[in-house]
Amino acid sequence: MSVATFEGSYLGAQDKISPLAIMECKVCWTPYDPAEGDDIRQIDPGTPFTALPDDWTCPTCSAPAEQFMVLEDPGAEAMQEAKRVEAVTAKLVDEFNEIWHSKMRDVPLVNKALRIEAIGFQAWNGQILGVLVSPWFMNLILLPDGEEWDLVTGAKEHIAFPSGEYEFIHNTRDTIGGYKACSLFSPMHDFTRQKDATDVARAVMGALFDEANKAETDRAADIRQAREAELAAQEAAEADAAKADEDDVPVLDAKPTRRAFLTAGMADAPVTETPLDAAE
């Protein structure tokens, strides 16, 4: 038999099927569904095919587990995604570990109680998103989920999340190529332990996707927008009615406020950039 004949077969390749995979005996077509388990061999419902005992065989024809092939695998995509995220995140951590050890260790602004750690990295919107903690910064990081990004270092981009819009700076590194970073904290002197920093990083990932935060983060922007809109309306009334369409509200100034909200109260010190309108 050629190798191609075995396409889709299990053949003991446990890392290729997810815990949700429904398998089927190649000899007699008896399925194994993890949701049901196997009454005959007293396998509890919820047992993945890969977690079956070594001596488990087809309940109908006693063919060994290796003779089963994938009938349907609802978890395959999620598993592949998790592997991609893991690979990209590992590269990011390697890159910054290299920078840390080769260039940053003796720089006065670093916090030597901390180390490079990737927190909460996950697939998001066709990209990979997470927080990178380091001895000298904590950034939200966006990486490509697939082909490398060709980015211009220093370029700014505003990216929308359920909690609001945040400013990311484009950057490029040798091994990971282009990536986008939104500064949360820098320097990192207010964190005394790694766990304090990683707790904040996890909280940021939660706050980022919390739509309830949007009302708060938008308040300052809304006030500004209202003012701008009023001015634009006045101008429009005074001059040309057609100009009313151009009241493109400059929300850019409000961005630092949103970012500050994301990290507000999460560390003892404020973020480096003080919000323009934070003064009481």
* Count of residues interacting with Fe ion (CB under 5 A): 8
Q: Which stretch binds Fe ion (CB under 5 A): 27-35, 198-206, 217-225, 263-271?
A: 27-35
Q: Among 218, 79, 213, 95, which residue's Cα sits nearest to residue 148?
A: 95
Minimum separation from the CB atom of position 6 to Fe ion (A): 17
Q: Answer positive or negative: Cα dihedral of 121, 122, 125, 126.
A: positive
Given a contact cutoff of 8 angstroms between Cβ atoms, the answer to whether 64 and 26 are in contact is no
Q: What is the DSSP string of 164-184?
A: EEEEEEEEEETTTEEEEEEEE
CB contact set of 252 (below 8 Å; sequence gap of 6+): 158, 167
**b/e 235-274 (16+ beta carbons within 10 angstroms → b):** ebeeeeeeeeeebeeebeebbbbbbbbbbbebbeeebeee
Closest CB to Fe ion among residues 67, 257: 67
Closest CB to Fe ion among residues 29, 209: 29
Minimum separation from the CB atom of position 31 to Fe ion (A): 10
Closest CB to Fe ion among residues 28, 239: 28
Closest CB to Fe ion among residues 58, 208: 58
Minimum separation from the CB atom of position 172 to Fe ion (A): 54
Site for Fe ion in 44-63 (CB under 5 A): 58, 60-61, 63
Closest CB to Fe ion among residues 21, 266: 21
**Which position among 17, 22, 23, 25 is part of the footprint of Fe ion (CB under 5 A)?**
25
Q: Where do contacts with Fe ion occur on this chain (CB under 5 A)?
A: 25, 27-28, 30, 58, 60-61, 63
